[in-house]
Copies of this chain bind each other. A is one copy, B any other.
């Protein structure tokens, strides 16, 4: 695959890319090859990321910010450079708007905890009975539970967009749902189950009409599509390093500077302060205000290397590659009797995540036989989106999710595996 794809982007060379991921050539117990179709859960890491981390940990490591020696300078420089890289990668208007967290969940909770804090003073973050929070039925638990907890703490009301039968956000009731009582709307940019890419502009227009804030959970979007947060025009975005070739232990909150400035601090501790007395403190400017304690230093540096890698491949090529794989998979799965795709069955506004049920066979059994017999790694269960599964009246689905290193041959292996599963349980 080195053909031109549309728009002047060179298609990615999947063979060369696979060489950067040693695990993809690993032989599993019993001699099975690995077919990794679980990147929506967490992606594999290229040697470039792993080696950057190893090198830093071995020869340049020290704490950041506070240290005034060679290693301190090297670590601080590498850590802050990672912030620059991430900011540029997502088109953030300012590097200071990039807050490093431990994962996307922390980023979502950080924003949720900014509301209804009696110590905060900004009107936009006040919350109590009568105020409303809006999410959707297709959210990941990490974009549901923080808002449930916020509603419990403050007495505010949690409401949600329904999901249509074909797996789209149902905007028909938006006029009632998002209203002058709404303080914040938080929805997925791309669903981790359906693959649906949500119409941000439509939601944003209504959110702006009523003067509320809009947060995007872009955990499944940033790894797979070119990002331009400035153009997106929303208020907050959360995403996570481990799904975009980076290590575990690092996530990102982006927020508009003016809002981050107005928010009360979340976690208190070293590095997030300006001056501390026993009875009061003043806080550092953002992003440090939200980075209490020793940050995930080497993890941020690893994420920076992941961003370098994705830039070198070109996110437009990544997107095009996944689109081709998704088209291929939707076609191939259509041939399997009793298979029902949960989510859009066309390529329109959808990413490379395909969830489905197989009639009469529990997804747990599907996933485990695929793994046992063919080394095909998919995810099975409710994928941390139980309400969405309840909405479709099913306890679980099997999910295949694609990334830049996947091939059509791997989708063929999945299809072969599914036929075998049907034979086993026939």
Contacts and interface: CB of A to CB of B under 8 A. Distances in A.
Given A66-B379, A71-B34, A149-B119, A142 B242 contact: no
Contacts of A68: 364, 367-368, 371, 379-381
Given A148-B268, A379-B66, A36 B247 contact: no
Interface in A136-170: 137, 140-149, 152-153, 158, 160
A275 B141 CA distance: 10
B371 A298 contact: no
Nearest to A144: B276
B54 A67 contact: no
Contacts of A60: 23
A102 interface: yes
A269 B105 contact: yes
A28 to B, nearest CB: 5
Interface string A62-83: 1100111111100000000000
B292 A142 contact: yes
Given A53-B57, A294-B242, A36 B106 contact: no
A148, A249, A293, A377: which has the most chain B beta carbons within 10 Å? A293
Given A71-B23, A142-B269, A292 B105 contact: yes
A63 B294 CA distance: 24
A399 to B, nearest CB: 11
A103 interface: yes
Contact of A105 (B47, B142, B144, B293): B293
Question: How many of chain A's residues touch chain B, expressed as a range?
Answer: 35 or more
B59 A26 contact: yes
Contacts of A67: 38, 41, 377, 379
A42 interface: yes
Contact of A293 (B142, B296, B386): B142
Nearest to A378: B69
Contacts of A183: none
A199 interface: no
A299 B63 contact: no
11 contacts: A41-B67, A66-B384, A106-B267, A141-B269, A143-B269, A146-B269, A148-B281, A248-B294, A269-B384, A276-B386, A296-B299
